[in-house]
Amino acid sequence: MNTKVGSIFPENAIYLYNDGKMKKTVTTSLFSNKKVIVIGMPGAFTPTCSNYHIPSIIEQMSNFKMHGIDEIFCLVVNDIHVTKVWAEQTGGTDSGLKFITDTDSSLVNKLKLSFCAPDVGLINRSKRFCLILNDLIIKKILIEEERGVCNVTSGENILTQLDK
């Protein structure tokens, strides 16, 4: 699938962090009949994700809700245990941010939003991206072109895109 505006978000098994546990579910059950933001990040505990990206999203959570967003999801390619600890340590879950993990990279590969950086141990990870969905239809796509940068997909920039 080429990820493009107007495409239907693919069905895929993922894990959702909820109430202290990682629970297997499918994307269609999470994203159907809602307006959601899905933010892909290269990995839990990576410097840009932890130190800038997650805080920039948390800072805008109430503003996203005021713009009609039902839920905001942070997607990483990590094992369920690492994702759970990261979700708890970032403070994101307290803000209402939901954490999902694509443990085998199948979703980011379907979306053609994966990358490899073997020199730092990142194999088949998620590119840094943001998809705005309305009832599974992709309405907006934001993708960072450079590794270690979070400008296009920062909470502040995503907010500006909601009015466009």
Catalytic residues: 49
CB-based contact 131:152 (threshold 8 Å): no
Query: What single-letter amino acid sits at 91?
Result: G
CA dihedral 113, 39, 22, 125 (to 10 degrees): 30
Question: What is the distance of C-alpha 114 from the center of its chain?
Answer: 13
Burial of 121 per CB tally in 10 Å (0-12, 13-18, 19+): exposed
Closest CA to 51 of 131, 126, 154: 154
